[in-house]
Chain A
Amino acid sequence: MNNKLLAISGIASIIILIYWGTFGLWFVTGNAPAFVGVIIVSSTIFYYIDAAKSGKEIYLRPISGLKAIEEAVGRATEMGKSVLFVPGISDMDQVDTVAGINILSHVAEITAKYETDLNVPTCRAIVMESAREACRESYLRAGRPDLYYDDMVHYISDDQFAYAAGVNGIMIREKPAACFYQGKFYAESLLLAETGNSIGAIQIAGTGSASQIPFFVTACDYTLIGEEFFAASAYLSNKPELIGSIKGQDIVKFMVMLLMTSVFVLDTVRQMGLFDFNILTFLGLS
């Protein structure tokens, strides 16, 4: 065990002990599992970010949807058509939207390099401002600030179906060669994806809305499912600190799997009468 791991574990343990010692005084009661969870998850992710920064090799499995981003923009460039990026219908208070904007900055960098038109219709004014900022930075990073103009990111409507109608209209009229749907989606997901499919665009979707994933899988060429969507920007940036957080996230997932198996085994043993410790009560689940 290395020193950094020891130090991080030590700090996490001290925080948890302080929490336990001042329970009800400094800290609200009833949130203990959540607090311990936050500390463990944060420490694990922090450790792997630090490890990646210090040069540790981290393997990320290839994600076909992310590899296809450049291919999609390239296709649009060859066809002389634009790229459409839809950042979902939620505001910036949703992590999905933030993740979508992160992916937008990578897409914008590629469109800047390839000198391809980018069209970003938004459903919220704050998202419009954030998306503009992300695109401006990307065009600057790509060395093509001259190609950037504010109106490539524009507002349509706050209403779900008015927005869907507006985006569908853009698709039908301009026939973009590549469509990206990255953000939080609801019922409009299939309206957008099917329209994109009907115009023959290459489509890459990603969302944290579990109920919309089947629709995207059906209608799009590539779909980033679940954590793939949130890992996308880290994966695309290739920055060690971001990739480290993905590794940390995977380790936490492994811990969750271990916890689920332990709870299952311990509860089964208890129900068989061989054991008198109720793990569900201990975790505050019953």
Chain B
Amino acid sequence: MFLKRQMPVIIAISVGLFILFGHFINIAPVQQFVNNDATQWFDIIASFAIFLGALNMLKLQVLKVVKKQRNWQYSILAIVGFAFAIFAGFFFRGANYITLSDIDPNNVNQLVEYISTVQEVKDTALMVKGIESSLASYEIPKIFISKSSAEDFAILVSGLAKNVTLGVKPWGAHVQIEGSLFSWMFFKIFTPLSSTMFALLAFFVASASYRAFRIRNFEATLLLVAGIILMIGRVPIGEFIPWWVVSTLIVFGIGALIAPMIPDKKILFGLIVTGIVLSSVLGIIFDWSLAINTPGILSIPNISEWIFDYPTAAGSRAIMIGIALGIIATSFRIILGIERPF
């Protein structure tokens, strides 16, 4: 019971306090532990824990297939994908390469031609230069997944050099080198699938924005107006909106704000028209059409920048301060063992 209940609490409290105060203590081994060892310990534990996760995932999917639970067909795909990744990572390197020794200088162009049949050559002249500078030993810049395809290509180029050697990239390197089975799986299956998920965000942002911008109350209207100004201010067209359009919009905005206070609509209309005329006259007198004379408030990019720099920054910093204090309080509760999520 002690090992299960009290021991984790003791470890959490002592390590927590040690790491917290370790930041301030001027002893090299303590600093070493806080800055390097502790994080490495975590990485090691997390690396071992991945087995638990992988096994759990596999177990659930296999059970689903065996018991023929609802939508069990999808689980077959998950199991096959899992097995394929394990195979490509641990059991099959799929990273064969060919090295040519003592290449005949007269065959360089022919070699480039052969290479271009299996690998896209962007700059032929550069490749020719590269081969000419390493005639003694040249590794063909193409990784062959299967040994037989490498052998076929080796037979094709065997007449161009004295020696043709076949090799396989070492374990570990095969997961990073471009052209191997693992990298094929990563770039041709995993990356497009991830990108597809990420791309969905564009549609979700559109639907979320539609809901957020629906005018329901004063706050939603404010959000809509600020959002539109920010969007227009960040695109080139924002710079071309003339001052009189912005001044008219500002007058309309003020009119919308004071409208509930003025019951007589004729007076309201008169005030708005007066505002528009007044701002137009001022613009003509002070020549606001010249960019240098235009007040900042009549330029959409300026308003957009102001919204971003002041109200948005102030709001987000207030949230950040709250989050920071919340993190401190939660950490304090955990370090003192008052709150135990474990």
B194 touches A230 (CB 8 A): no
A-side contacts of B327, CB under 8 Å: 95, 208, 230
Given the known A-B contacts A27-B25, A98-B330, A234-B339, are A190 and B208 also in contact in the complex, defined by CB atoms under 8 Å? yes
Which chain A residues border B26 with CB–CB below 8 Å?
24-28
Which of A41-49, A64-72, A76-84, A266-274 is the contact stretch?
Answer: A41-49
Alpha-carbon separation in the docked complex, A273 to B15 (Å)? 49
Place the interface of chain B in its size category.
35 or more
Is the CB of B116 closer than 8 A to any CB of chain A? Answer: no
Interchain CB contact (< 8 A) of A128 among B52, B208, B209: B52
The answer to the question of B74 belonging to the interface, with a C-beta cut-off of 8 Å to chain A, is yes
How many residue-residue contacts, CB under 8 A, span A and B? 174
Query: Which residues of B196-211 are within 8 A (CB) of A?
Result: 197-198, 200-201, 204-205, 207-209, 211
State A73–B212 Cα separation when bound (angstroms): 26
Which residue of B is nearest A22, CB measured? B26
Q: Which of A155-195 contact B (CB under 8 A)?
A: 155-162, 164-165, 169, 173, 187-188, 190-191, 193-194
Bound complex: CA A256 to CA B26 (Å): 28
Residue B263 interfacial (CB < 8 Å): no
CB distance from B332 to the nearest CB of A (A): 5
Smallest beta-carbon distance B83→chain A, Å: 15
Q: Quick check: A129 and B204 within 8 Å, CB to CB?
A: no
With A and B bound together, what is the CA distance between A133 and B12 in angstroms? Answer: 16
Whether B341 lies near A218 (C-beta < 8 A) is no
Q: How far is the CA of A93 from the CA of B71 in the complex (A)?
A: 35
- Contact of A162 with B194 at beta-carbon distance under 8 Å, contacts A27-B26, A194-B207 already known: yes
Is A249 an interface position by the 8 A CB rule?
yes
- When distances are taken between beta carbons in the complex, the residues of chain B under 8 Å from A105 are 341
Contact residue among A95, A129, A233, A242 (Cβ-Cβ distance under 8 Å from B49): A129
How far is the CB of A217 from the nearest CB of chain B, in Å? 8
Known A91-B46, A165-B197, A227-B323: A49·B56 in contact at CB below 8 Å: no
Are B329 and A155 interface neighbours, CB within 8 A? no
B88-96, B279-287, B314-322 - the one binding chain A: B314-322
Best-surrounded residue of B20, B42, B194, B330 (most CB of chain A within 10 A): B330
A271 and B329 CA atoms in complex are apart in Å by 35
* A91-B46, A124-B46 known; A155+B197 contact, CB < 8 A: no
Give chain A residues whose Cβ lies under 8 Å from the Cβ of B57. Answer: 154-157
Distance of B25 from chain A, by nearest CB (Å): 6
Is the beta-carbon distance between B338 and A164 smaller than 8 angstroms? Answer: no
Residues of A within 8 A of B332 (CB): 41-42, 45-46, 245
By the criterion CB–CB under 8 Å, are B54 and A253 in contact? no
Q: Is the CB of A28 within 8 A of B50?
A: no
Min Cβ gap A214→B in Å is: 8
Whether B322 pairs with A227 at a CB distance below 8 angstroms is yes
Contact B329 A125 (CB under 8 A): no
Contact call A245/B49, Cβ cutoff below 8 A: no
Q: Which residue of A lies closest to B31 (CB)?
A: A28
Is B254 part of the binding interface, using a Cβ–Cβ cutoff of 8 Å?
no
Contact B204 A190 (CB under 8 A): yes
A interface, size bucket:
35 or more
Task: Report A30-44 CB contacts with B as 1/0, cut-off 8 Å.
Answer: 010011001001100
CB distance from B246 to the nearest CB of A (A): 26
Chain A nearest CB from B222 CB (Å) reads 14
Question: A35 with B24: in contact, given A194-B208, A227-B323, A249-B329 (CB under 8 Å)?
Answer: yes
Chain A residues touching B, majority SS: helix
Q: Are B56 and A155 in contact, CB atoms less than 8 angstroms apart?
A: yes
> By the criterion CB–CB under 8 Å, are A245 and B201 in contact?
no
* A101 interfacial contact with B, CB 8 Å: yes
The reply to whether the CB of A151 lies closer than 8 angstroms to some CB of chain B is yes
Contact A241 B326 (CB under 8 A): no
Residues of A within 8 A of B162 (CB): none
From residue B47, how far is it (CB to closest CB) to chain A in Å?
A: 10
Alpha-carbon distance between A125 and B56 when the two chains are bound, in angstroms: 9
Complex contact A126–B49 (CB within 8 A): yes
Q: Which single member of A34, A151, A161 contacts B193 (CB below 8 Å)?
A: A161
Q: Is the CB of A161 within 8 A of B197?
A: yes
Which residues of B lie under 8 Å from residue A164 when comparing CB positions?
Answer: 197
Contact (A210, B323) CB under 8 Å given A158-B50, A187-B198: yes
For B204, what are the chain A residues with a Cβ–Cβ distance below 8 Å?
190-191, 194
Asked if A230 contacts B323 (CB within 8 A), the reply is yes
B60, A169: Cβ atoms closer than 8 Å: no
Q: Which residues 178-223 in B have Cβ within 8 Å of A in the complex?
A: 193-194, 197-198, 200-201, 204-205, 207-209, 211-212
Interface contact A190-B46, CB-CB below 8 Å: no
Chain A 193-223 residues near chain B, CB threshold 8 A: 193-194, 208, 210, 213, 215, 217-219
Q: Can you name 17 A-B pairs with beta carbons within 8 Å?
A: A28-B25, A45-B332, A95-B331, A105-B341, A125-B50, A155-B54, A158-B50, A164-B197, A169-B74, A187-B201, A190-B204, A191-B197, A210-B323, A234-B333, A245-B329, A249-B328, A252-B329
Q: Which residues of A contact B (CB under 8 A)?
A: 19, 24-28, 31, 34-35, 38, 41-42, 45-46, 49, 91, 93, 95, 98-99, 101-102, 105, 122, 124-126, 128-130, 133-134, 151, 154-162, 164-165, 169, 173, 187-188, 190-191, 193-194, 208, 210, 213, 215, 217-219, 225-227, 229-231, 233-234, 241-242, 245-246, 248-249, 252-253, 256
4 closest pairs, A vs B, by CB? A230-B326, A125-B53, A226-B322, A155-B53
Apart from the given pairs A165-B193, A245-B329, 5 other A-B contacts in the complex at a CB distance below 8 Å: A28-B26, A125-B50, A155-B54, A227-B325, A248-B329
